[in-house]
Amino acid sequence: MQRTIFDTPIIRDVMPGVSKMLFKLIGWKVVGDFPAIDKYVLIAAPHTSNWDFPIGLAICFIGGKKVFWMGKHTLFTGPLGPLARWLGGIPVDRRKSNSLVEQMADVYRNSTKLIVTVPPEGTRKKVEKWKTGFYYIALQAQVPIVLGYLDFKTKSGGCGKVFYPTGNIELDLQEIQQFYQGIRGKNPENQ
């Protein structure tokens, strides 16, 4: 995978402390630890606000984890493109029907360590059902899904349980989504 902000020594060494201080100032806390697993899909839910990204990034700094994320391809154009890549972004063109799941599963198979965060809603807007790409990436790559969350009601975020997909997507999604009951995004009307 590409070099990211986490590869920069000053950022890697300074940002955990800065993030902890910032969290203390704004009243947020990290709950739980990142699992000691080399490869997994980290789902991020609920995803209702632009604030999800900086708060999630701070949690990654505090946890000392190098986490990649997939974003709309338009985020990677113009002057912000290099910054988005440096922050661990992987551009995704949602207009094209391509083999994103297979491509990401191959990336996992060819990596010794890899964490990619995926918001299952796929957008900050209200959706009727989750996109399932995160599930099929984990299933094909034979890696677990870690249930990451941001709860704006309690000002807490972190990693919940580690979930191993069984291939029965209907039952698995019920169990995964049950974990998120009671967790409130910044804009709960978009959940």
Predicted local distance difference test score (pLDDT) of residue 75: 83
Give the mean model confidence (pLDDT) for residues 7-32. 85
CA dihedral 165, 114, 64, 21 (to 10 degrees): -70
Average pLDDT along the chain: 87
Predicted local distance difference test score (pLDDT) of residue 179: 96
Query: What is the tens place of the pLDDT at every residue in 157-191?
Result: 999 999 999 999 999 999 999 999 999 989 877 76
Q: Inter-axis angle of helices 52-63 and 9-26, to 10 degrees? A: 120
Distance CA 65, CA 95 (A): 31
Query: What is the tens place of the pLDDT at every residue in 62-73?
Result: 998 889 988 778
Q: Inter-axis angle of helices 133-141 and 169-179, to 10 degrees? A: 110
Of 47, 89, 99, 97, give the one whose Cα is nearest residue 69.
89
Q: Kindly list the domain boundaries of the chain, sorted by start residue.
A: 5-185
Q: Which residues contact 92 (CB under 8 A, 6 or more apart)?
A: 70, 71, 72, 73, 100
Predicted local distance difference test score (pLDDT) of residue 48: 87
Predicted local distance difference test score (pLDDT) of residue 175: 96
Give the mean model confidence (pLDDT) for residues 106-120. 90
Give the mean model confidence (pLDDT) for residues 45-56. 90
